[in-house]
């Protein structure tokens, strides 16, 4: 076997020694029942002779980015069950929502969800023995050494798709050089987002002959007619007020966004902010921040109406970010005023909404560059510059339309990663 198996044995020993701490955290953060059991690989065994594809996504953002691939696989392989795993409960909710959409179609695969097991040797073994997939697909940067090695032992080909390694992640993985080389030795094919990502994977030990630059699946967003319908209804309820959306926001960022909104309302008092925190656990904290800032609030989860007095509409629901983006005249994508690395700039662009961002874009450098090249991205640094940019945009319909058209053009021009990814996966299935 290529790589350094002893490095994985050391990793497993370290993981087992820390298991009380790991399990305590998992127990605290998991949902009761199924999620805790499945963390140990205890899932229902696949029926004898059944065929399945396994796709692992870390959390809600990855499931959303993988949606074009999920839908394509379900339609392309209706005879195989498609199993999605996630680390988080929010990711599970998003996976179930995608599966429900597909249920309305004929001739598509059954789509189900499990929580991915912890990478303990026994948990990985139980999970793989019970699932027995024809192909394992890992999305972006999920590299679990025992799961990867277990796939190879069972003759299960492994693909890493939309492969991404930020400079920061690369530096972290590089400190685990031999372990990462051993893990990557089990990968049958890697489709990287960019040549820079491919080079980082190769530097960690990924075989050059098994690596291909496919582009980013994020550009292959399908038109979501349901989201457009929700956007139109919400906009009709709001009326003709200027509206901006702040999506996927984080702790430490909401304060700056509310400051920007207060500054904007000094010039345009009727402006409305649709605020959508990234994590459900922060919904209450975001509502409290709005109240503390003196911003009259309406909450979507409670079906509260937006009145003339409402300053902030809190999008405290799951699976509606695209629809909420589509209800705005401009959209700020969060995780970019704090050192998170940004979130998907293409979601508002695909909805035909001008895109604003902060400077922290380490996770989306390729997407940001594509938008910059078409002058389809407005970049700000803090609450002051954000308020100024919003005031200019909300007062200039022609510039908003130019930005919206340029953003849509970027999405269209960069499509193709999905087709290249499916070709790579088909080769693995045909060779099996």
Helix ranges, 140-224 (H): 145-153, 167-174, 177-184, 195-204
**Distance from C-alpha of 120 to C-alpha of 39, rounded to nearest angstrom:** 10
DSSP 345-408: THHHHHTT--EEE-S--GGGHHHHHHHHHTT-EEE--SHHHHHHHHHHHHT-HHHHHHHHHHHH
- The tokens of 282 are what? 């922060």
**Distance from C-alpha of 428 to C-alpha of 432, rounded to nearest angstrom:** 6
Residue 251 vs residues 208, 223, 278: alpha-carbon distances, Å: 40, 31, 9
To 10 degrees, what angle do helices 383-394 and 397-413 make?
A: 100
**Distance from C-alpha of 189 to C-alpha of 195, rounded to nearest angstrom:** 15
Active-site residue 105, yes or no?
Answer: no
CB 366 within 8 A of CB 216: yes
Token look-up 């379900």 returns 74
Give phi and psi for 46, each to the nearest 5: -65, 145
User: Closest Cα partner for 57 from 44, 73, 46?
Assistant: 73
**Distance from C-alpha of 225 to C-alpha of 360, rounded to nearest angstrom:** 31
Q: Which helix (H) or strand (E) holds 229?
A: helix 225-238
CB 93 within 8 A of CB 318: yes
Choosing from 29, 48, 62, 309, the catalytic residue is: 62
**Distance from C-alpha of 118 to C-alpha of 386, rounded to nearest angstrom:** 41
**Distance from C-alpha of 294 to C-alpha of 351, rounded to nearest angstrom:** 31
Residue 345 vs residues 215, 355, 369, 374, 419: alpha-carbon distances, Å: 16, 7, 11, 14, 21
- The tokens of 6 are what? 């002893």
CB 107 within 8 A of CB 75: yes
Active-site residue set: 62
């Amino acid at each position: 076997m290529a790589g350094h198996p002893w490095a994985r044995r050391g990793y497993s020993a370290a993981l087992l020694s820390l298991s009380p701490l790991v399990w305590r955290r998992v127990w605290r953060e998991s949902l009761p029942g199924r999620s805790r059991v499945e963390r140990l690989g205890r899932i229902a065994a696949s029926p004898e002779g059944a065929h399945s594809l396994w796709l692992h996504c870390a959390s809600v953002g990855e499931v959303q980015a993988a949606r074009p691939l999920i839908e394509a696989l379900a339609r392309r392989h209706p005879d195989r069950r498609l199993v999605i795993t996630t680390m988080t409960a929010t990711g599970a909710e998003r996976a179930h929502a995608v599966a429900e959409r597909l249920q309305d179609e004929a001739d598509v695969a059954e789509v189900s969800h499990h929580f991915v097991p912890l990478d303990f040797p026994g948990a990985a073994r139980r999970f793989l023995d019970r699932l027995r997939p024809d192909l394992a697909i890992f999305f972006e940067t999920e590299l679990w050494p025992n799961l990867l090695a277990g796939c190879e032992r069972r003759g299960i080909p492994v693909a890493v798709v939309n492969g991404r390694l930020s400079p920061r992640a690369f530096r972290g993985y590089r400190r685990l050089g031999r372990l990462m080389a051993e893990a990557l030795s089990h990968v049958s094919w890697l489709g990287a987002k960019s040549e820079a990502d491919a080079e980082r994977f190769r530097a960690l030990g990924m075989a050059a002959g098994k690596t291909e630059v496919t582009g980013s699946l994020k550009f292959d967003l399908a038109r979501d007619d349901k989201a457009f319908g929700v956007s139109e209804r919400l906009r009709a309820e709001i009326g003709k007020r200027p509206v901006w959306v702040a999506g996927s926001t984080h702790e430490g960022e909401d304060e700056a966004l509310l400051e920007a909104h207060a500054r904007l309302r000094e010039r345009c008092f009727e402006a409305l902010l649709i605020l959508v925190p990234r994590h459900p656990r922060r919904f209450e904290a975001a509502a409290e921040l709005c109240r503390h800032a003196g911003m009259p609030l309406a909450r979507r989860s409670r079906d509260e109406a937006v009145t003339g007095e409402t300053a902030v509409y809190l999008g405290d629901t799951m699976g509606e970010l695209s629809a909420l983006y589509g209800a705005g005249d401009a959209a700020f994508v969060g995780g970019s005023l704090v050192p998170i690395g940004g979130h998907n700039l293409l979601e508002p662009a695909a909805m035909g909404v001008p895109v604003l961002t902060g400077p922290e874009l380490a996770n989306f450098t390729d997407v940001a560059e594509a938008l910059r090249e078409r002058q389809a991205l407005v970049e700000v640094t803090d609450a002051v510059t954000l308020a100024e940019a919003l005031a200019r945009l909300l007062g200039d319909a022609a510039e908003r339309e130019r930005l919206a058209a340029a953003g849509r053009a970027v999405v269209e021009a960069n499509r193709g990663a999905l087709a290249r990814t499916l070709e790579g996966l088909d080769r693995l299935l045909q060779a099996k």
